[in-house]
Structure 1
Amino acid sequence: MNESAENATAATPESMGDGSALSLEVTVLLAVLISIAALLTIAGNVLVIVSFILVKELRISSNYFILNLAITDFVIGVFAMPVYAPYLLSGVWKLGETFCTIWLVIDYVDGSASVLSITLISLDRYLLVTKAIKHRAQRSLKKTVIMMVSVWIIAFLLYGPAILIWRTLSGVELPEGKCYVGFHDNFPFLFSTALVEFFLPFTSVAVMNFATYWSIRRRGKRLRRHGAMRTSNIRGERKGKSMVKVTRKTQLHLRPPVAKERRLSRTHTFPPAQQDIKNAKQIKRREELVERVSDLTKNTRAREKKAARALAIIVTTFAICWAPYTITMLVRSLCRSCVSDTLFEWAFWMLWLNSMLNPFLYAMCHMQFREAFKKLLGP
């Protein structure tokens, strides 16, 4: 992910191509922005992790994927950003080749694990909405943990070996004062990793979130249709009831000829006042039911809009944060001069912006997490 460190940090418009330092004003501004980004990333993800640990109700299978995402993003804020900042500001890597390799492995693997965790969250929500009973019956803590571990294994296999052995196999040494991966200009390898790290996950996330929304919408339509039918039936019954009128005059002319009929009459008829009260209560209950059905329909529509908005934000944010870097990285590997250093640096930082936003996208939209945050942060 940090091929930008090869050239973008040492040759941005504000710095010299020989790696000289940025101007004081630019250095201070970038330092402040990086510090804010790192602190927000750390704080947001720590809040998610601590909430999961302290609040028992949050420790369900689905939330383990959110925990996994928070861990990956926390590492970005606490390690990747602070280590990269001096390199960006000075244009020179001063921590040695060994630590450079360690940082690159952690950064690349962690970024990939973050994307795969987002994909798992979308898959879990899709199954919960479309196949709720079957999914709840089949999932278990053991399966969830296996999936979480698999995310890290896949992420490491995607980049770890290549970062560790690429320079040895290629025979190209890392220039002094620089820190970047050896495959930064290898289009076939970069395209292969981009498929696994961005194109396939993004397509999956987009499709699953759309399918989730569509399922919620269809369920809402069925509920509204049922509610409309129920309301119509209730109003019809109410209208029919209102046409039945029991008068004292009618009851005075009811004189059963035998005692048995008289007993039945006493058993199954009501005095006029009681009958009116009973009818009024029935009408009132039906009116209340009509109002409840109407409110339920409104609430269903509101939930549909809220779900659509939340899912659209998730997909859009993922695309905005990852697409620029992926595209510029591929173009740059084929034509270095086609993408400016400044543009590539901004695209690179968009990846880390995603780690800052994820706690708000996935945890803050979760009611139980919101309640946990309120308890932890106090009144």
Structure 2
Amino acid sequence: MVILLILKIFLAFSIVLGNGLIIMAFVVDKNLRLRNNYFFLNLAIADFFVGAICIPLYIPYEWEKEWSFGSELCIFWLVIDYLLCTASVYNIVLISYDRYQLVCHAISYRSKQTSISRTVTYMVAAWVLAFLVHGPAILNGSNKKSENTECRNQLLHTIPYIIITSILEFLIPTILVTYFNCCIYWSLHSRSSVRGKPAPTPSIPSPVQDNSVTCTVFSKICFPKLDEEIHSSSVKSMRKKSLFASLKTQVEDETASVELSSLSQSNSVSVDLIVRRRKLLRDRKIAKSLAIISGAFVFCWAPYTLFTIIRSFHYNNAYDPWYTFTFWLQWFNSFLNPFLYPLCHKNFRNAFVKIFCKKKVIASTQISLST
């Protein structure tokens, strides 16, 4: 029990520290202040208060097996706990939707990139919807306790309430996240298949053919007939030399122009392929990071939702270690989320480097500027 208590305290401290670093990164690094990253900030705020409020109030309640902080604080704890956990789920849906728009509707997404009001509306809507799932029921007295030492949501044993809330806070978010992921992967697969086809090569005129045509034209225009030439052999040889010299220079000029045009066309094709490849690699990284975050959400929330539905049918109020494990597992998701950002996003890694190694970053930038 002491070891478990230490682990729970360490979990709360890690959640506060990890999500606090995400919030601090937005303050330090201005490059993170983009539309898509604001949804990460919203998620970090919800997870931060899970470790700062929910877990510290629950640890003594679980240790002493009774609630000793009063009924008002009990209502506050229940409302905040359900609000923060549901808001964390809805913010993951927002992140998935934003990535879906970025990958599948890039043109319209860039046109709306500067719309701060739209972003703030989405962020506020996630919190409002998260409150409406559990908040009104708890505030209307659903947490009436049979004993003064108990603090729990009594509607957890009401089957319609459990089914509706499970649909709203787990089933619908899971379906939406899965749909957005499937659309992203389908878009990347179709673009990869198109990219795998051989690109049409530009029609470049052959220098040899141009030379033959040029020689034919010059032979008809520049070379006179023998009966029209001057009969002096010395003058004839000098004229032939001058004609061959002019012909040679014109052929070389046309060959150089053909080579330059072919080089410019090949360069434009290669630059276009490089841009497409970079964009495809970026979208693949986005899809990979989104799949990791979404997979962590499903892994941490599915067992708790399943056990809650099962217990509501049996009205089992006894202590169940597996149910307690799944209860802590959903809080563990708030611990995982901040550690997934630096692993999947280069901008967050750079921001953390600025926080912990500010002097090294300044020195490296000075060296790069000098070079």
Match of 1:329 in 2: 308
Pairwise CA distance, 1:159: 1.0
How far, CA to CA, are the matches of 1:62 and 1:309 in structure 2?
16
Contact 1:166 1:183 in 2 (8 A): no
Q: Structure 2 CA distance, aligned partners of 1:88 and 1:341?
A: 13
**Equivalent position of 1:81 in the other structure:** 55
Deviation at 1:229, TM superposition (A): 2.0
3-state SS of the aligned residue for 1:184? helix
Quote the RMSD (CA, aligned, Å): 3.7
Determine if the alignment matches structure 1 residue 162 to structure 2 residue 133.
Answer: no
Q: Secondary structure at 2:344's aligned position in 1? A: coil
TM-score (ref. length: structure 2)? 0.77
Task: Pick one of 99, 107, 125 that aligns with 2:99.
Answer: 125
The normalised TM-score by structure 1 is 0.76
Call closer, same or farther: CA 1:196–1:145 in 2, change over 3 Å: same
Equivalent in 179, 185, 197 of residue 213 of structure 1:
185
Shift of the 372–312 alpha-carbon distance from structure 1 to 2, 3 Å rule, reads same
In the alignment, structure 1 segments of 5+ residues that lack a partner are: 1-25
Report the alpha carbon displacement of residue 97 of structure 1 after superposing the two structures with TM. 1.6
Identify the range of structure 1 (188-197 vs 172-181) with the bigger mean alpha-carbon deviation.
172-181
Which residue in the other structure is 1:190 paired with? 162
State how many pairs are aligned: 337
Q: Deviations over 1:89-131 (max 9, x none)?
A: 2222221221111111100011111111111111111111111
The one-character-per-residue Cα deviations of 1:284-314 (angstroms, maximum 9, x if unpaired) are 9999999889988886776676455433322
CA distance in structure 2 between the partners assigned to 1:262 and 1:244 by the alignment: 19
1:12-42 residue CA offsets vs partner (Å, 9 max, x unmatched): xxxxxxxxxxxxxx2x211221122112211
> C-alpha deviations, 1:148-197, integer Å up to 9, x for none?
111111111211111122348xxx53412221112120110111111111
Change (3 A) 1:338 1:218: farther
Work out the percentage of aligned pairs sharing the same amino acid: 34
CA distance in 2, matches of 1:174, 1:338: 13
Match of 1:257 among 215, 223, 226: 223
Task: Please give the alpha-carbon distance, in whole angstroms, between the structure 2 residues aligned to 1:218 and 1:151.
Answer: 32
Which residue in 2 is equivalent to 1:148? 123
Contact 2:163 2:309 in 1 (8 A): yes
Distance 1:157 1:283 in 2: 64
1:257 is paired with a residue whose SS is: coil
Match of 2:175 among 191, 194, 203: 203
CA–CA distance in structure 1, aligned partners of residues 317 and 75 of structure 2: 28
The equivalent of 2:10 in structure 1 is 36
Q: Which runs of 5+ in 2 are unaligned?
A: 225-238, 361-371
| Deviation (angstroms), 1:204 | 0.1
CA contact (8 A) 2:155 2:162 kept: yes
Structure-2 separation of matches of 1:302 and 1:164: 48
Q: Which residue identity does 2:199 align to in structure 1?
A: M
Range with bigger deviation, 124-133 or 286-295: 286-295
Larger Rg belongs to: 2
The answer to whether the Cα contact below 8 Å between 2:83 and 2:134 also exists between their aligned partners in 1 is: yes
2: CA distance, partners of 1:210 / 1:178: 44
CA contact (8 A) 1:51 1:372 kept: yes
Q: Does the CA contact (< 8 Å) of 1:94 and 1:177 recur in 2?
A: yes
SS at match of 1:178: coil
* Contact 2:99–2:286, Cα closer than 8 Å, also in 1: no
CA apart distance, 1:343: 0.7
Q: CA deviation at 1:220?
A: 2.8
Q: Quote the residue 1:10 is aligned against.
A: none
